[in-house]
Amino acid sequence: MFKLLYFTWNPSTGINLGPLTLHYYSLMFILAFALGYLIMTKIFKIDGVNQKYLEPVFTWALIGTIFGARIGHVVFYQPELFKQDFWSVFLPIQTVPEFKFTGFSGLASHGAAIVLVTMLVILGRKLFKRNPLWLLDRVAITVALAGFFIRIGNFFNSEIIGKPAPNSPIAVLFPQQSVAEYGPIVPRYPTQLIEAFSYLALFIVLAYIYLKTNKKYHMGWIFGFFFAVLWSIRFFVEFLKEPQGAEKISLGVLNTGQVLSLPLIIIGLIVMYLSKNFRITPEENTLSE
């Protein structure tokens, strides 16, 4: 009886545009940044911030996300790539065993978080001449939504899949999954969708907090809440996931993703607690220069 409950997910690889195919993962990436740009435009307008700041914030956020995610994947999951195919670490190509354009694949959210936060801290101080937590609070809202789209992209790619779940009514069969990486093609937990809709819920909560409460005047509170909740989601969903590549870091029953998430959860909680020391008034919140 249970075998009738699972859903088979076997989509096309993308949208055919004649000589080119727009892959759904790439489309999700584009949507994530396009909507993020629109949301930040609205946020800057609400806060009375000059729109001239939007372009550098968006540009460096894009660079930081892609670069950090790629480097993070190689460092945390595939360090041997530095020796085996060095240029593929930094460019969307492979040179071994043959030259091939691959696009940016193999991305780790922990790496993206580390590099993106670092870049935004530097950018926040340079552009806004104030505590960089102000900028992190606002960018966090868009990143939560981006997480939703990225995981939907993973779902289209039949990657980041869950452990076998033959008796679960939410199980999904992924005929396009990598057998070499994940094992037999059997019904599995749709962990991409679990994460995706959890991040969408987080985005809605963050937007409500920003629009309807005074927490945006406690610099760091929104960012800390975002960090603590997002990485908690990641930590618990990992229990349902298949290992993502070689597990280079582990701690008992915890895998690499969980070990890397724990310090980020703690950082989020600490920043939330300390935000009471960084309160500003609505007048101080406005940057209209």
What pLDDT score does 134 carry? 93
DSSP state of 131: -
- pLDDT for 46-92, tens place per residue? 998 888 888 888 888 888 888 888 887 788 778 888 888 887 777 77
* 288 against 34, higher pLDDT: 34
Q: Which two tokens stand for residue 237?
A: 């969903």
Amino acid at 162: G
Please count the other Cβ atoms lying within 10 Å of the Cβ belonging to residue 166.
13
Give domain limits for the chain: 2-9+24-285
What pLDDT score does 250 carry? 59
- pLDDT for 145-180, tens place per residue? 999 999 999 999 999 999 999 888 899 999 999 998
DSSP state of 100: E
- pLDDT for 120-145, tens place per residue? 888 888 887 778 999 999 999 999 99
* pTM confidence score: 0.87
The alpha carbon of residue 192 and the mean position of all alpha carbons in its chain are separated, in whole angstroms, by: 12
